[in-house]
Structure 1
Amino acid sequence: MLILLSPAKNMNFDETERALAVTTPALIDETRILSTTTRGLSTSKIKTLMKISSDLARLNRDRFRAFDADQPGTKPAALAFAGEVYRGLDAGTLSDDDLAYAQNHLRILSGMYGALRPLDGIHPYRLEMGRKLHTRRGESLYDFWGDKIAGHLNELLSYESDPVVLNLASNEYFKSVDRKTLKARVITASFKEEKDGQTRMLMVFAKKARGMMARWALENRISDPADLVKFDAGGYAYDEAGSTETDLLFTRPQPAAPGAKAKAEA
């Protein structure tokens, strides 16, 4: 079974106490081609494309200009991305054995790199998959990547008798996987909070839960999709009534906001 995650907009390239050898992204040749386009983007174009401030646009212009696909990335992807998904994954505390297993069973979808292993070295960048960036292949990054990501996943899954993808990525990123090309069953997990008799998806919690489920599946070496219903990290439990064979729902009582909890304990 192969697990898919989205990347994060925020990145952390501070040094970490744990030194890990980085690997080379599998689709680096495609990244090299894409970088010739991003290198030429102006500050104003980046600001409009990404809908960000002038300061952030300048930062990312400088990142694109410095980006060199021929040089090894400076930090493992799973440690470089920062955000709720990666707080849930907490890759820096995974054992060496778990990280080695994750190299074969976890992929992070990326607008710049296509698909990344946890220990693939990356450079600082910001390029959301859903942005309409014009390249020679079309008007969007979906056009640029075409069926290449799905083809890569097929290669990884070709040794399995029953290829399965556990989709823990956002819709924006999973759309980059060409379903017509992908030769695997797809199981998608979602997470909701219960409060006052109602369930709803709160994105800040759902994102962290995606990372937690990825970690749980890696640590427990989950290979049989039937075992996914056992996921219980963070107080979540399988909701059979809200699930189907391909869409699994996990719910839990909605936790109090950190500020509200501190106020109640004061």
Structure 2
Amino acid sequence: MKIIISPAKKMLISSDNFGDIKRPQYFEQTQIILQALRQLTYDDLKVLWKCSDKLAQKNYQQLHQIDLTKQLTPAILAYSGIQYQYMAPDLFTVPEFNYVQQHLRILSGFYGILRPFDGVVPYRLEMQTTLAVVGSQNLYAFWNRQLYEALIKDGEPIINLASQEYSQTIAKYLTPADRMIEIVFGHFVDGRIKTRATLAKMARGQMVRFMAEHQVHRVTELQEFTDLNYQYRPEFSTANKLVFLTQ
């Protein structure tokens, strides 16, 4: 199976020496995106990033100093949002690192698709950003089917722990022969299942950790997940959607 997750806006540079850092699969495409970003003015980028002047100035300076081959951090340790904090990859054992390297993939507007030990630099670019790149009106059009084709191999099921912004880069190309399992973390509000964004991010990170710790290889094994008081609810689930509810 393959597990897909979203990146995080907040990123870190690790000073540790990692000897097994790999080059991202779509390195050349990332170079093209970088050039497209550098052609924009500061004001254009501030609108694109939708952020404050202080943050825009920091990101603008960072953009023009980026070297895609230096000061690299493994992707799984570079992102530091809520999902990654609850995944806690810095505490992984060697077998757990091996598991995520084989099964986990991080979707990215800048890098396309990343394995955990692909080397990355800090950047700011969401997939839904309306950045025109070499004739493509946005990043969805630029990446097109590439991320789907990189992920779909040998009939493996895909465990979707990514947000819709990122998962749609795969979902829109699925065929009847493909299987993507949607994971829903929710709670009841007025008799309907609703999702709390922060809790869902926490649970997604915890589920990746659960899968790595238990070396999960079958979809049915996910039903045993109970972290953060979530419980699998078969009455709301289907073959391609697993629903976990909490109070």
Give the TM-score taking structure 2 as reference length. Answer: 0.91
CA distance in 2, matches of 1:128, 1:20: 29
Residue 201 (structure 1) aligned to one of 195, 203, 209: 195
Q: Which residue of 1 aligns with 2:42?
A: 43
CA distance in 1, matches of 2:213, 2:26: 26
Q: Which residue of 1 aligns with 2:64?
A: 65
**SS of 1:45's equivalent?**
helix
Q: Is 1:165 aligned to 2:161, yes or no? A: no
Report if aligned partners of 2:13, 2:71 keep a CA contact under 8 Å in 1: no
CA distance in 2, matches of 1:166, 1:196: 29
| Equivalences for residues 7-18 of structure 1 within 5 A | 7-13=7-13, 15=15
Any idea what the Cα deviations from partners look like across 1:216-254, whole Å, max 9, x if unmatched?
Answer: 11221222112221212222110112222211110122x
CA distance in 2, matches of 1:14, 1:163: 32
Q: Which residue of 2 aligns with 1:139?
A: 137
**SS of 2:131's equivalent?**
coil
CA distance in 2, matches of 1:188, 1:153: 16
Q: Which residue of 2 aligns with 1:118?
A: 116
Identity of aligned residues (%): 33
**Amino acid across the alignment from 1:173:** Y
Q: Which residue of 2 aligns with 1:81?
A: 79
CA distance in 2, matches of 1:122, 1:39: 18
Structural RMSD (CA) = 2.1
CA distance in 2, matches of 1:213, 1:51: 31
Q: CA deviation at 1:96?
A: 1.5
Residue 246 (structure 1) aligned to one of 234, 237, 240: 240
Q: Is 1:236 aligned to 2:235, yes or no? A: no
Q: CA deviation at 1:178?
A: 5.7
**SS of 1:248's equivalent?**
strand
Q: Is 1:213 aligned to 2:231, yes or no? A: no
CA distance in 1, matches of 2:134, 2:192: 48
Any idea what the Cα deviations from partners look like across 1:94-132, whole Å, max 9, x if unmatched?
Answer: 111211221110000001000111121111101000010
Give the TM-score taking structure 1 as reference length. Answer: 0.85
**SS of 1:115's equivalent?**
strand
CA distance in 1, matches of 2:76, 2:184: 21
**Amino acid across the alignment from 2:86:** G
Report if aligned partners of 2:113, 2:147 keep a CA contact under 8 Å in 1: yes
**SS of 2:46's equivalent?**
helix
* 1:139 to 1:197, Cα distance in 2 relative to 1, 3 A: closer
Report if aligned partners of 1:11, 1:81 keep a CA contact under 8 Å in 2: yes
Q: Which residue of 2 aligns with 1:259?
A: none
Q: CA deviation at 1:194?
A: 5.2
Residue 151 (structure 2) aligned to one of 141, 150, 153: 153
Name stretches of at least 5 consecutive residues in structure 2 with no aligned partner: none
**Amino acid across the alignment from 1:229:** Q
Name stretches of at least 5 consecutive residues in structure 1 with no aligned partner: 254-266
Q: Which residue of 2 aligns with 1:177?
A: 170
Q: CA deviation at 1:179?
A: 3.4
